[in-house]
């Protein structure tokens, strides 16, 4: 089921314009021209499997969710100047709290991985704003690259879990802390690493703030004593 809401969409029911709606032989709605939905395709049991929207540049869909049987979700504002196609089983995740602009012809194929995410925390001139993810043959995320070419790498365990994360120079960025799931991250404090032994440094770190960082994980930052 695709769920769409936006204030600029026209209320065709009150205008009673039947030309805005197209149905197939089974009575399924296949197009809603007034809402810029140019095509809706159905699979088994007449369930929606693909929807194509022709969204103009001035169309912004705010605070809404796309959902298919595969739980394809978009929790941030999205704007686009052309056609958007989302298919059933696509592995798509939009970062909450960010504004994502989709380029012309954006498409996610069935079973595919979404490769670009706007990370609001990295929207600076020095870090870049577009984050591209690279996956291995098993579907595990192995590398992250921003728009200026800076790369970071994921170290994964035997069960597919992300154990640690390194930057392109080989410096450790964080280590995941596991319980029944990822319950936090240990982030090294570079300012104290040259002056304290590992045990002393460990005692000097106290949790200060917990915030969402990557999918299915949290980041823990620390204050020195």
Alpha-carbon radius of gyration of the chain: 22
pLDDT tier for residue 40 given thresholds of 50, 70 and 90: confident
Predicted confidence at residue 112, as pLDDT, reads 54
Confidence check: pLDDT of 37 > 60 = yes
CA distance linking residue 33 with residue 79, whole number of Å: 18
More confident residue, 2 or 14: 14
Sheet holding 99-102, edge to edge: 60-61, 77-80, 99-102
Predicted confidence at residue 54, as pLDDT, reads 65
Domain boundary assignment for the chain: 1-114
Predicted confidence at residue 214, as pLDDT, reads 39
pTM: 0.33
User: What is the per-residue burial (b if ≥16 Cβ within 10 Å, else e) of 27-52?
Assistant: eeebbbebbbbbebeeeeeeebbbbb
Q: Of the given ranges (74-83, 135-144, 149-158, 203-212), which has the lowest mean pLDDT?
A: 203-212
């Amino acid at each position: 089921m695709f769920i769409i809401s936006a204030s600029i969409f026209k209320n065709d029911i009150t205008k009673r314009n039947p030309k805005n709606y197209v149905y197939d032989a089974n009575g399924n709605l296949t197009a809603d021209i007034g809402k810029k939905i140019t095509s809706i395709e159905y699979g088994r049991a007449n369930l929606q499997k693909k929807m194509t929207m022709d969204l103009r540049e001035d169309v912004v869909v705010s605070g809404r969710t796309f959902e298919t049987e595969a739980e394809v979700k978009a929790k941030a504002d999205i704007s686009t100047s052309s056609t958007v196609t989302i298919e059933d089983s696509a592995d798509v995740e939009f970062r909450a709290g960010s504004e994502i602009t989709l380029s012309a012809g954006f498409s996610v194929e069935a079973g595919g991985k979404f490769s670009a995410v706007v990370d609001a925390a990295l929207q600076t001139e020095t870090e870049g704003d577009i984050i591209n993810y690279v996956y291995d043959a098993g579907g595990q995320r192995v590398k992250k690259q921003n728009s200026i070419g800076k790369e970071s790498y994921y170290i994964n365990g035997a069960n597919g879990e992300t154990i640690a994360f390194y930057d392109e120079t080989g410096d450790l960025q964080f280590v995941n802390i596991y319980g029944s799931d990822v319950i936090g991250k240990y982030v090294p404090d570079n300012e104290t690493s040259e002056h304290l032994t590992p045990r002393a440094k460990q005692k000097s770190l106290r949790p200060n703030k917990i915030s969402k960082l990557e999918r299915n994980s949290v980041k823990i930052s620390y204050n020195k004593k």
